[in-house]
Amino acid sequence: MGKRTKNLQRPSGLTRREVIGLLGVSGIALAQSNTGSVAAFPEGSIIRTVLGDMPPEALAGGATLFHEHMSLSPDFLPKFMSLLTSRPPTATPAPHPGETYFLRDLDLMTEELRAAGHEGVACLVDGGHPDMGRSLDFLKRISERSGMPIVSGAGYYSEPFYPPQIATSSEDQIAQSLIREVGSEPYGALGEIGSWDEMTPNERKVFRAVAKTHLATNLPIFTHTNFGKGAIEQLDIFESLGVNPRRLAIGHVGGLIDAQVHVHKEICKRGAFVGFDRQGGPGDARQIPMVMALIEAGYADNLLFASDFSSATQLKRNGGAGYAKTVTVFAPKVREAGASEETLRRILTDNPRRFLAFVPQQKAGRGRAE
């Protein structure tokens, strides 16, 4: 664990001196905004990036996007789309003969992440894991080369993607193996943890194992739902096992279109984060009224924004808005709809840091340190 803290890297938007200054912060650390609001982090809190632990204050200079993808296997999306549409996969896994899939292309991804850093992104969270073909080594290399801090998730995605041993392992066996995994590599979250449609018995088993992993490690959890389906059920499982909802983000709930924001409010009321995490595209128009309804109901502190980036057409190189599109495309629309600058700053900068920051458990510790 010691080597992680030595490895602290410079986050975008901060000078070396500023980062070194932040390292001296002790006790209850305070991040003061220019309008006077203060984000406090419990003593000893860190955000665990793939290159080392960082004090949450070091990411105050920009947006942290809590659900993106920077490494997937070339056949992940074709399989995902074919399951979603119940049609056989049509997309060819490799773009063109001789061309590297973009989520395997070191130079391209380095360039894209640098651009995102210049557009106000301070940190990106990757929601993949081995069952989606995510490579931790690739994340480390693009982070090192681009200077963009990356938090990597751990866990299992959803039933159609599970490795065979999930079916034959018990809940406790899955938990034990996850606890070992997150203890040996620099994982900063458990996510994305999904139910593909109606939650299956194996998915329920994984959710319970992830809850136990959280209790043993304090790592935050973010989930995948099929456009919000089963969102409350996910929350119920975690809460029934003692997970504090404040450490939990229910994902893709922006896709549940409801002017009354019934489910969204319920999640906020119980203290969890609501993920509007496929932003910066054609879905924005129907989701912005829901975001505004939640802000007006006093739930700005429960909102998390991201783009679930996974399409080559969205790359800067291909004329898209790139990894910063939550900041450069979606946030201006929310501002236009009436959200204040300060509210947007809180949602993009403070909420994700509050979500990600945790006090690591001692190696032998198994209890809750909330």
| CA–CA dist 101, 114 (Å, integer) | 19
Cβ atoms of residues 238 and 270 within 8 Å: no
Q: Which of 99, 105, 139 is nearest to 123 (CA)?
A: 139
Please, how many CA atoms are within 13 Å of residue 359, restricted to the half-sphere of its CB? 13
Report H helices in the chain. Answer: 2-6, 16-23, 76-85, 106-118, 136-146, 165-168, 171-184, 201-217, 231-240, 262-269, 284-296, 325, 331-336, 341-345, 351-356
Cβ atoms of residues 159 and 196 within 8 Å: yes
User: Toward Zn ion, which CB reaches closer, 53 or 112?
Assistant: 112
- Provide, rounded to whole angstroms, the least separation between the CB of residue 192 and Zn ion: 5
Stretch that binds Zn ion, among 99-107, 124-132, 202-210, 213-221 (CB under 5 A): 124-132
User: Toward Zn ion, which CB reaches closer, 192 or 284?
Assistant: 192
Place of tokens 């105050």: 60
- Provide, rounded to whole angstroms, the least separation between the CB of residue 162 and Zn ion: 16
User: Toward Zn ion, which CB reaches closer, 41 or 305?
Assistant: 305
102 CB contacts (<8 Å, ≥6 apart)?
95, 108, 109, 312, 315
User: Toward Zn ion, which CB reaches closer, 308 or 350?
Assistant: 308
Cβ-proximal residue to Zn ion, closest one:
127
Stretch that binds Zn ion, among 193-201, 207-215, 306-314, 352-360 (CB under 5 A): 306-314
User: Toward Zn ion, which CB reaches closer, 105 or 192?
Assistant: 192
Size of the site for Zn ion (CB under 5 A): 3
- Provide, rounded to whole angstroms, the least separation between the CB of residue 136 and Zn ion: 16
Place of tokens 């410079």: 10
User: Toward Zn ion, which CB reaches closer, 119 or 308?
Assistant: 308
- Provide, rounded to whole angstroms, the least separation between the CB of residue 324 and Zn ion: 17
108 CB contacts (<8 Å, ≥6 apart)?
100, 102, 315, 317
Cβ atoms of residues 308 and 70 within 8 Å: no
- Provide, rounded to whole angstroms, the least separation between the CB of residue 5 and Zn ion: 29
Say whether residue 126 binds Zn ion (CB under 5 A). Answer: no
Task: Figure out which of the listed residues 117, 120, 127, 360 binds Zn ion, where binding follows CB under 5 A.
Answer: 127
Stretch that binds Zn ion, among 21-29, 184-192, 240-248, 329-337 (CB under 5 A): 184-192
- Provide, rounded to whole angstroms, the least separation between the CB of residue 158 and Zn ion: 10
- Provide, rounded to whole angstroms, the least separation between the CB of residue 27 and Zn ion: 36
Q: Is 264 helix (H, G, I), strand (E, B) or coil?
A: helix
- Provide, rounded to whole angstroms, the least separation between the CB of residue 134 and Zn ion: 10
Stretch that binds Zn ion, among 8-16, 37-45, 82-90, 185-193 (CB under 5 A): 185-193
User: Toward Zn ion, which CB reaches closer, 299 or 309?
Assistant: 309
Say whether residue 308 binds Zn ion (CB under 5 A). Answer: yes
Residue type at 64 in one-letter notation: T
Q: Which of 51, 38, 66, 42 is nearest to 6 (CA)?
A: 51
| CA–CA dist 156, 149 (Å, integer) | 23
Say whether residue 120 binds Zn ion (CB under 5 A). Answer: no
Stretch that binds Zn ion, among 258-266, 301-309, 326-334, 348-356 (CB under 5 A): 301-309
The DSSP-derived string for 101-137 is PGGG-HHHHHHHHHHHHHTTEEEEEE---GGGT--HH
- Provide, rounded to whole angstroms, the least separation between the CB of residue 232 and Zn ion: 20
Give the residues lining the site for Zn ion (CB under 5 A): 127, 192, 308
